[in-house]
Each structure stands twice: as structure tokens, then as C-alpha cells.
Chains A and B, each alone.
Chain A
Amino acid sequence: QVQLKESGPGLVQPSQTLSLTCTVSGFSLTSYNVHWVRQPPGKGLEWMGRMRYNGDTSYNSALKSRLSISRDTSKNQVFLKMNSLQTDDTGTYYCTRSGWYFDFWGPGTMVTVSS
């Protein structure tokens, strides 16, 4: 069955770089797009960017200068790297697959930016 799971450090210091991994199973990264969506505590959802099935990427312009998304198809993994983290980057980070819509989501990983 289709599954996505995020993994990452949990705690990141201000000004440092966040590295997250989304490990997928049950589908091929060369057939579906995978997106990153984040959610600050108690707030709404923000689309960060996507890795398309063909390897192209697109980013939210608000984050573009700090954000990079890549993948390793042999390991079924999509990576997120975001630099210059600040406290307002604290939140839950989700990866999600899109077919006709965001049809499967990972459980999310909580990231806290704090010294």
C-alpha cells in the first residue's frame, strides 16, 4: 500500500539548516509528484514545494531562496533542505503525494527551531 514517512532532526538551532527525508513505498517517484507542506503549531497549511515525477522542482516563492528539494529514486526518498532557519519555521512538516489531489500524506515530523 502507499505510504510516506518523514524523518528529520526534531530540533534545529536558529540560523542552521534543516534536512528532512520523505521515504515512500507502494509507488514510484518517477510516476507521481511529491510535495512538502508545513504547518506551524495551531495554524494553517503552507505549501513549500514539489518534486515532480520527471525530476523537475518548483518552490513557493516565499521560501525559494532558502529551500531545495531533491530525490534519490533508487532509495525511494525525497529530500528537503532549508537554510537560515528561524523560530517561525517551527512546525510539523509533511510530505504528500499528488495524483488528482494530495491523496496520501505522511504522519508528519515536528521540527522545533530553538537554541
Chain B
Amino acid sequence: EIVLTQSPTTMAASPGEKVTITCRASSSVSYMYWYQQKSGASPKPWIYETSKLASGVPDRFSGSGSGTSYSFTISSMETEDAATYYCHQWSSTPLTFGSGTKLEIK
């Protein structure tokens, strides 16, 4: 099983601040996927195939990485971005998720 380790677990950012979340895989994966989840709601696709934005996702979001190291960036934090973000791989089964990064607004 590929274990995905996200960091940080929680963080707070001020409006306008740059945010970076990392996701490390225990084995190499082809792509990384990212989902946003707000309290009481289903996860939403956010970034797919490492760097492609899902429909409706603002371009202040970006993703990068390869192999076992991936990152998720918000260029300028906005209040609506407060949520939990999960990385996800489906290079091999069982499909796995990171433990999540809870991002709060400062």
C-alpha cells in the first residue's frame, strides 16, 4: 500500500499569504490528485494529474511534483479557501489518501 504523508497537518494563513502543502508518497506514483473538503460537505475535486485544475477552481491554485514528492500551492490565500485538503493517489490499489491538511484563515 502506498502511504501518503501530508504536511503540515494544520495551518493558518492570512488573506493574501502564499500557502504550500506537501504530500510525500512511500513509493513513486504517476500523478497526485487533490481534493478540497469543507465541514459537513463531500470532497470536491481540486487538482488532478498533479497540476491540472478541476472545473471551476481558481487559478491561484497550483500543483506540482513527481515521483514521491508533490506540492499544492495557493498563491494568495482567500477566506473561501479555508478547508481541509487531501492528496490522493491511484497509481496502485488500494487507492489511498493523505491524512489531510486543515487550512484555516488567520
Contacts and interface: CB of A to CB of B under 8 A. Distances in A.
Contacts of B54: 101, 103
A44 B97 contact: yes
Given A45-B86, A47-B94, A60-B94, A103 B99 contact: no
A61 B94 contact: yes
Contact of A44 (B1, B49, B95, B98): B98
A45 B95 CA distance: 10
B6 to A, nearest CB: 9
Given A44-B97, A62-B94, A101 B42 contact: no
A102 B43 contact: yes
B94 A45 contact: no
Interface centre among A44, A101, A106 (most CB of B within 10 A): A101
B94 A44 contact: no
Interface residues of A, number: 21
A41 to B, nearest CB: 11
Interface residues on B, range: 20 to 34
B44 interface: yes
B56 to A, nearest CB: 12
Contacts, number: 49
A110 to B, nearest CB: 11
Contacts of A45: 35, 43, 86, 88, 97, 100
B45 A44 contact: no
Nearest to A47: B95
Contact of B42 (A46, A47, A62, A94): A94
* Closest 3 pairs (CB-CB, A-B): A105-B42, A47-B95, A101-B48
27 contacts: A37-B43, A44-B86, A44-B98, A44-B100, A45-B35, A45-B86, A45-B88, A45-B100, A47-B94, A47-B96, A47-B97, A58-B93, A59-B94, A60-B93, A60-B94, A60-B95, A94-B42, A94-B43, A100-B48, A101-B45, A102-B33, A102-B35, A103-B45, A105-B43, A106-B42, A107-B42, A108-B42
